[in-house]
Structure formats: C-alpha cells, structure tokens
C-alpha cells in the first residue's frame, strides 16, 4: 500500500537555488496539503488543494508555489531557497469524509 509518497527524502540546497518536492497519492483523494515542521515545533500549513486545478494559501505560503494538474500529484516548488526554509516538509491527503489525514514520510531540506 503506497499511500502518500514524497521525494526526495533528503536534500541539501544552496541559497538561491530552486527545487521541487514531489508528492503523489494513490488513494484518489481530492484534498491534499503541504506542511512544514521546523525543529521542535508544530506543523505549519503552506498550501492546500481541494481538487485538480484548485489550490490556496495556508499559513506560511511565502517563498513557495504549488500546482495540482492531476488528482494524484501535488508538487511544492521552492524558488530562491533561503536558510529560513530549512525544515521538514510533509505532504498529506484526506478522504472525502475527512476521517483520516494521511501523511507522507517527510522530506528533510537543508538550505546552506
């Protein structure tokens, strides 16, 4: 059972570089989310999507972009990486009933 799959798991970026974190789910969920978790802290919502072609900002969207061209995929793009974006990024999806939110394994990103 794949569930929510994130890649890469680990990445080191230099300041000013760009990259895309990939997220795919095989549960046909419409709702998908990107969170970041700074060391010792809770999760902050970056962006979310309620279906293909529909995205919206969360609590901390600055410095990030998303797209949702298919139900399965919800990539997160970092433009001009900054040290403040060093964090663990979690992708998640939920079913229509909202009874469970499924999380990916996380992507550890360091910007140096």
Partner 1 sequence: ELKVEQNPLFLSMQEGKNYTIYCNYSTTSDRLYWYRQDPGKSLESLFVLLSNGAVKQEGRLMASLDTKARLSTLHITAAVHDLSATYFCAVDLNSGTYKYIFGTGTRLKVLA
Residues near partner 1 (CB under 8 A) are 31, 33, 35, 40-45, 48, 50, 56, 58-59, 90, 94, 98-106
Strands (E) across 1-112 are located at 4-7, 10-13, 19-25, 31-37, 43-51, 54-57, 64-66, 76-78, 87-94, 101-103, 107-111
Shortest approach of partner 1 to residue 23 CB, angstroms? 13
Q: How many CA atoms lie within 13 A of 101 on its CB side?
A: 10
Shortest approach of partner 1 to residue 49 CB, angstroms? 10
Report the alpha-carbon distance of residue 5 to residue 105 in Å, rounded. Answer: 7
Shortest approach of partner 1 to residue 80 CB, angstroms? 26
Shortest approach of partner 1 to residue 42 CB, angstroms? 5
Closer Cβ to partner 1, 81 or 104, answer by number: 104
73 contacts 52 by C-beta, under 8 angstroms: no
Closer Cβ to partner 1, 1 or 14, answer by number: 1
């Amino acid at each position: 059972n794949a569930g929510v799959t994130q890649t890469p798991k680990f990445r080191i970026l230099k300041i000013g570089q760009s990259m895309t974190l990939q997220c795919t789910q095989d549960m046909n969920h419409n709702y998908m989310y990107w969170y970041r978790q700074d060391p010792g802290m809770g999760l902050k919502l970056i962006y979310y999507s309620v279906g293909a072609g529909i995205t919206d900002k969360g609590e901390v969207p600055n410095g990030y972009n998303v797209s949702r061209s298919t139900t399965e995929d919800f990539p997160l793009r970092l433009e001009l990486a900054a040290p403040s974006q060093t964090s663990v990024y979690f992708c998640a999806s939920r079913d229509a009933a909202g009874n469970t939110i499924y999380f990916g394994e996380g992507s550890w990103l360091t910007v140096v």
